[in-house]
Amino acid sequence: MGRGWGLFIGLLGVGWLLCSGHGEERQQETAAQRCFCQVSGYLDDCTCDVETIDKFNNYRLFPRLQKLLESDYFRYYKVNLKKPCPFWSDINQCGRRDCAVKPCHSDEVPDGIKSASYKYSEEANLIEECEQAERLGAVDESLSEETQKAVLQWTKHDDSSDSFCEVDDIQSPDAEYVDLLLNPERYTGYKGPDAWRIWSVIYEENCFKPQTIQRPLNPLASGQGKSKENTFYSWLEGLCVEKRAFYRLISGLHASINVHLSARYLLQDTWLEKKWGHNVTEFQQRFDGILTEGEGPRRLKNLYFLYLIELRALSKVLPFFERPDFQLFTGNKVQDAENKVLLLEILHEIKSFPLHFDENSFFAGDKNEAHKLKEDFRLHFRNISRIMDCVGCFKCRLWGKLQTQGLGTALKILFSEKLIANMPESGPSYEFQLTRQEIVSLFNAFGRISTSVRELENFRHLLQDVH
Residue 193 identity: P
212 is in an annotated binding site: no
For the CA atoms of 85, 406, 214, 389, what is the dihedral angle to 10 degrees? Answer: -10
Please enumerate in sequence order all residues whose Cβ is within 8 A of that of 287, keeping only pairs 6 or more positions apart, or say none. Answer: 35, 255, 258, 296, 297, 299, 300
Please check if 196 is assigned to a binding site. Answer: no
Distance between CA atoms of residues 34 and 291, nearest Å: 9
Between strands 274-277 and 265-269, the pairing is antiparallel
Residue 275 phi/psi, 5-degree rounding, is -120, 120
Residue 186 annotated as binding? yes
Query: Which positions are annotated as active-site residues?
Result: 393, 396
188 is in an annotated binding site: yes
d(CA 361, CA 185): 34
Q: Does the CA dihedral 432-447-41-298 come out positive or negative? A: negative
- Residue 179 DSSP SS3: strand
Distance CA 90, CA 84 (A): 11
**Nearest CA-CA partner of 125 in 152, 106, 153, 144:** 144
CB 112 within 8 A of CB 105: no
From the list 250, 279, 244, 280, the residue with the least C-alpha distance to 264 is 279
The gap from C-alpha 14 to its chain's centroid, in whole angstroms, comes to 37
- Coil, strand, or helix at residue 99? helix
State yes or no: 397 annotated in a binding site. Answer: no
349 closest CA partner among 327, 318, 371, 325: 318
The answer on whether 356 is annotated among ligand-binding residues is no
Round to whole Å and give the CA distance between 71 and 461. Answer: 31
CA atoms of 158 and 148, how far apart (whole Å)? 16
CA distance 386 to 75: 23
Measured on CA atoms in the order 307, 353, 70, 409, is the torsion positive or negative? negative
As annotated, the binding site for FAD includes: 186, 188, 199, 251, 254, 286
Binding site, residues? 186, 188, 199, 251, 254, 286
